[in-house]
A and B are shown apart, each in its own frame.
Chain A
Amino acid sequence: MLKVTIGQYYPADSFIHRLDARMKLLCTMIFVVVIFFIGNFLGYALAALYLVVVIRVSKVPPKFLLRGLRAILFIIVFTAVLNVFFTPGETLVFELGFVRVTQEGLLAAGRMGLRLVMLIIGSSILTLTTTPIQLTDAIESALKPFKKIGVPAHEIAMMMTIALRFIPTLIEEMDKIMKAQMARGADFDTGGIVKKARSLVPLLVPLFISAFRRAEELALAMESRCYRGDVGRTRMKQMKMALRDLGALISLAVFTGGLFILNHIANIHGIW
């Protein structure tokens, strides 16, 4: 059985879930940018504290967040290791042949690793507490200002919505076709690369045919309900900002302000 983790939504009723998706998108973007300006570990401690509070408020079990982290663990480790080796520095920690590990390198690696982890956790909170549909709506409104320069905001959002909607369907379909062919003795696991590639034909042909059939049916269904793109389109679910959205923004502003003060203090006293 295949598992989908792309944009996985965790249904719950929390303050974070109820926030306007546009506000969540904005706050996540601000958070990600701010994370990259933190220069010392005191700042990371504050950011971690902020994240912990947000996670508690969102009622998402931490294991869901860690699951997302596990998927990109390799990238994090890889980036950190690169940083260790390629940061120029003075204070030598140890040397082994041509490998020089310096204090500056270790610190840079630590910062980079923490940044990536927080970036992933921050954006996971967004996708875990926002349904894909709300998210694409938010992206559409974020792209609206660029419409004037020819960015097809609505079309991009619609395509994303449809793609998100059909990923699980296609996976389910693939699972079914795979089983049906396995019932006829197909073998997807053994053999060399050529044999494996050939064994995919009985899987991919039906999958493509059904994807095209679905696309055609969907287009027909949309047209028969008078879909004609963006112009004059209204929404069933209007997005409305509420007081709590302002609250969320203020909490982020306080956090950012705190970080800058910490940064300043750290600079004066020369803390890492």
Chain B
Amino acid sequence: MSIEIKNLCHYYGKGSTFEKKALDEINLTIEKGDFVGLIGHTGSGKSTLVQHLNALIKPQSGNIIIDGEDINADKSRLKAIRTKVGLVFQYPEHQLFDMTVYKDVAFGPKNAGLSEEEVDERVKTSLEMVGIAPELHQKSPFELSGGQKRRVAIAGVLAMRPEILVLDEPAAGLDPRGRDEILGQVKLMHEKLGITVILVSHSMEDIARLVNRILVINGGKIALTGTPAEIFSKFDELEAIGLSSTQTAYIMRDLQAKGFNLPNNIFTVDEAVATILEVYLHE
């Protein structure tokens, strides 16, 4: 399942005095099974870009081709495309509406026209995936804590069983444990089900830990693409567009500058700990 974006442009308020170019000639390809990180500073166009991926925003110019199919070519295919591409919005808890957690998560599968048993099975597994205990299933979603709401909302998208999962800052505003649990689940799903994942995040640490490919967007244009190792070693380029490399990368760079003999391609805490221990304990 590859995603191909060709010459995509988008203006907000086109033709008015407040016209704003949010996307500028985006060209990119995402391969099936990739775990892609999308980074860029505030207002760079990340949310706008990901909303194009399941045709919530129609391209003003350019094309989006998923699996060889132009997703905007045929209106009757919209539902199928939105099932295939699951999008978790920024602050998804704001979309909760139903009387119970269970019913809210069932909204998507029901819209897809699945049988009752199938819906039941999907709701239960997705709620389990995001760590919502069965006792909470019959509670009102509005009685839950912020983090629990977020999980329920994410489960609502997972229950659609998307083949491509797009998450727009799913961990923003969660505590460290909640963040690790949710991102851990995403990683697990990626490995187990082989789905393609696109993760928008402001946390370079999370990105470095999880993804195998990074897209850097700046002012509506793709500024850099590459593996985490390639991207996070470009300190100056990242800083020039208001981003940074990972904190670990900075520490490793400073340690090298101080004369320690360490390798160049370490970007996550776990890797750093392992490497430093290996290099210095075995000496």
Residues of A whose CB lies within 8 Å of any CB of B are 10-11, 173, 176-177, 179-187, 201-203, 205-206, 209-210
**What total count of A-B pairs have CB within 8 Å?**
59
Q: List 24 A-B contacts (CB under 8 A).
A: A10-B17, A176-B94, A179-B51, A179-B56, A180-B92, A180-B95, A182-B56, A183-B82, A183-B157, A184-B107, A184-B108, A184-B156, A184-B160, A185-B107, A185-B108, A185-B111, A185-B112, A185-B160, A187-B79, A201-B97, A202-B97, A202-B107, A205-B98, A206-B95
A182→B78 CA distance, assembly (Å): 10
Q: A185-B108, A187-B111 are in contact. Are A180 and B17 (CB under 8 A)?
A: no
Of A176, A185, A203, A205, which contacts B82 at CB under 8 A? A185
* B238 interface contact, C-beta 8 A: no
Chain B 14-63 residues near chain A, CB threshold 8 A: 17, 51, 54, 56
A210→B95 CA distance, assembly (Å): 10
Q: Do residues A183 and B56 form an inter-chain contact, with CB atoms below 8 A?
A: yes
Choose among B94, B96, B98 the residue with the greatest number of A CB atoms under 10 Å from its CB. Answer: B94
Of B17, B79, B97, B160, which contacts A206 at CB under 8 A? B97
* B87 interface contact, C-beta 8 A: yes
What is the distance, in angstroms, from B185's C-beta to the closest C-beta of chain A? 19
What is the distance, in angstroms, from A217's C-beta to the closest C-beta of chain B? 14
* B170 interface contact, C-beta 8 A: no
In the bound complex, residues from chain B placing their C-beta under 8 Å from that of A205 are 97-98
Q: Across the interface, name the chain A residue whose C-beta is closest to B14.
A: A1
* B89 interface contact, C-beta 8 A: yes
In the bound complex, residues from chain B placing their C-beta under 8 Å from that of A177 are 94-95
In the bound complex, residues from chain A placing their C-beta under 8 Å from that of B111 are 184-187
In the bound complex, residues from chain A placing their C-beta under 8 Å from that of B79 are 185, 187
What is the distance, in angstroms, from B86's C-beta to the closest C-beta of chain A? 7
In the bound complex, residues from chain B placing their C-beta under 8 Å from that of A173 are 94
Of A10, A183, A202, which contacts B54 at CB under 8 A? A183
The secondary structure that dominates the A interface is helix
* B250 interface contact, C-beta 8 A: no
What is the distance, in angstroms, from A250's C-beta to the closest C-beta of chain B? 31
Q: Across the interface, name the chain B residue whose C-beta is closest to A9.
A: B17
Q: A10-B17, A202-B107 are in contact. Are A183 and B89 (CB under 8 A)?
A: yes
* B83 interface contact, C-beta 8 A: yes
Question: Closest 4 interchain pairs by CB?
Answer: A185-B111, A184-B108, A205-B97, A180-B95
In the bound complex, residues from chain A placing their C-beta under 8 Å from that of B51 are 179
In the bound complex, residues from chain A placing their C-beta under 8 Å from that of B160 are 184-185
In the bound complex, residues from chain A placing their C-beta under 8 Å from that of B56 are 179, 182-183
Of A10, A176, A185, A202, which contacts B89 at CB under 8 A? A176
What is the distance, in angstroms, from A94's C-beta to the closest C-beta of chain B? 43
In the bound complex, residues from chain B placing their C-beta under 8 Å from that of A187 are 79, 111
A9→B157 CA distance, assembly (Å): 39
A191→B236 CA distance, assembly (Å): 55
In the bound complex, residues from chain B placing their C-beta under 8 Å from that of A184 are 82, 95, 107-108, 111, 156-157, 160
What is the distance, in angstroms, from A61's C-beta to the closest C-beta of chain B? 9
What is the distance, in angstroms, from B169's C-beta to the closest C-beta of chain A? 14
Contact with A along B182-217 (1 / 0, CB 8 A): 000000000000000000000000000000000000
Contact with A along B64-102 (1 / 0, CB 8 A): 000000000000000100110011010010111110000
A203→B142 CA distance, assembly (Å): 15
Q: Do residues B142 and A182 form an inter-chain contact, with CB atoms below 8 A?
A: no
Q: Across the interface, name the chain A residue whose C-beta is closest to B99.
A: A205
Known contacts A176-B89, A184-B95; 5 further A-B pairs (Cβ under 8 A):
A180-B92, A180-B94, A180-B95, A185-B160, A210-B94
A180→B86 CA distance, assembly (Å): 10
Q: Across the interface, name the chain B residue whose C-beta is closest to A180.
A: B95
In the bound complex, residues from chain A placing their C-beta under 8 Å from that of B96 are 206
